[in-house]
Structure 1
Amino acid sequence: MAEKQQRLVLSIIDFLKDSLDDIKADDKEGIEVAIQCIGEAFGVDPADEQQVARLSVKPATLPTIFDVFLKTREKVANNNTAQASSSASTSSQPKTTSAEDKAQAEKFKQTGNTQMSSKQYDQAIESYTQAIALDPTSAIYYSNRAAAYSSKGDHLSAVGDAEQAIAVDPKFVKAYHRLGHAQYSLTDFRAAADAFERGLKLDPTNAGLKSGLENANARIVPDDDDDDGPPPLTSDNGLSSSSARGAGGGGVPSMADMLAGLGGMGRGGGGGPDLASLMNNPQMMAMAQQMMANGGLANLMQNPAVANMMGRVQSGDMPSVEELMGDPTLRDIAQQFGGGMGRGA
């Protein structure tokens, strides 16, 4: 499941949980069941603190994200309406900002900068907004307001202003840094990396953009959809996991492969024979094939004595054949599934 989808699902679950107090008591049980079903369907567990920390978009919430969308759509619609009205009324070029308006806008910007220094972020936002109203062609005003929004934790609004600054002036490098910082704060590390990379194309030596890109790339988690899975596991003798499963299925290695792996480890610690030579015994091979065919291998691997032996082998404590055959349980198993092995030992 892609991480971006899980973030959305977690936001939906948080919204539903926060809404429980606002709905009728008769409907609460249905909402709680829906929360559980949605979480299970998308692999999101609200009780998993590590997963929540990785997927959460707080301080943003689903309602605030939706509110930004509505405001953006309304603003775009109003702009389109104004442009259409202007085109219908005159074919001349749009009215340019007067020198007087530009001068006044600069004063509002300076005021906003002073307020930012004093951490008066709301007042700074208002000052930059007034500057934008007088001169909407300045990318600096949008960029400064994005910084003010980020400083107060409203990173979604900062994203909107940074993108607007880029739309006004695509070569204004600082806007890409504002955008990358806001996206990083929202834990959308892929989007943050993209913003920093776009800025570096304009200013390849910008240290801030380089640092931001490195930090964003370090936090990116590959989506499950892009993961082709780990490479096939191989045993010490080079056999792939598909060869090691054998006809018994269920991921249990075949007896032939198991003995080959044991043989590759050399002689037993007790001075016993080289187990690899057992692979040359036709009777041993026939035993392994018979066990795979009748399901005995699966039962064998469930035996506690066998499990203990395999655990010792994996930890590097290689038992000798004499030691194995000295165990009554293992000896009985060997005699049951291949008398030749018991007698040979």
Structure 2
Amino acid sequence: MSDEAKIVAASIVNFLNQQLEGNTLNSDSKESLEVGVQCVRAAFDLSSEELARGVDLLQLVRQQQGGVEASKAEAEKLKNEGNELMKSEKYREALEKYTRAIEIDPRNAVFFCNRAAAQFKLGQNEAAVADCMAALALQPNYGKAHGRLGIALTVLDRHREARAAFARAAQLEPDNESYKQNLKLAEERLAESGQAAGQMDIGGLLQNPQLLNMASEMLSDPNMQNIISGLMGATNLTNNLGNGAGGMDALIQAGQALAQHMQSANPDLVEHLRRQVRPPGPDGPPNPPPAQ
């Protein structure tokens, strides 16, 4: 048996003995620990000299916790320095501060979101999007990260994604007027680019998780399988009869049954699809101010 294994076992025995000497355990717990100490000593054949080589586990844990807190404090200091550099328009230096903070504490969403702002100021919009996504992976309901994501996506002409980001930001922070204004701007740009509600985004629909889940559930539903079989039968009948009224009526009936099933299964999703294909009305949103 290696010396390292014996040192670890000795450290555990010493820790258990420390607990036995304290006043925090009841008699049953102490009895269990005493058995545990005997078992570990016997299993590793620990002598008194070898027990003396064990380390203080409690002290190690306290030191580690202290080191973690010190590291977080250093990361927070770097973030604050980056914020000051941003105010002075020293964006590259600020980016370096945020990067160092992330290296120390990669679980802090604020650091990624702040670095995204520096990336955006430097014209590194793809990197800004990546940092916003990293922040949202850590903290999905982070309104500022959604807002900054929307701005970077707007510059990249990814207006549909920008609209979704601003919509989420406005939902999380309903009193933030800039998010509402930027949402209107994204909608206006979608309309100008021909990507508005009057034009269906087939690629987006195929990636819609709600639609995919509903399709999977529908295909496993026996009633839905009967409807699809009827629809296919009606299609074959129409092909055989040309444009005969009988074949077309059967096709229409099967299609109506499919639509009714979709409506009853997920009315919210059906309404969302309707909005995507519905042409914009005469009263469009007012012209919003530029993104901030």
Greater Rg by CA: 1
Structure with the higher helix share, 1 or 2: 2
Q: TM-score range by the shorter chain?
A: 0.3 to 0.5
Scaled by the length of structure 2, the TM-score of the pair is: 0.43
Scaled by the length of structure 1, the TM-score of the pair is: 0.37
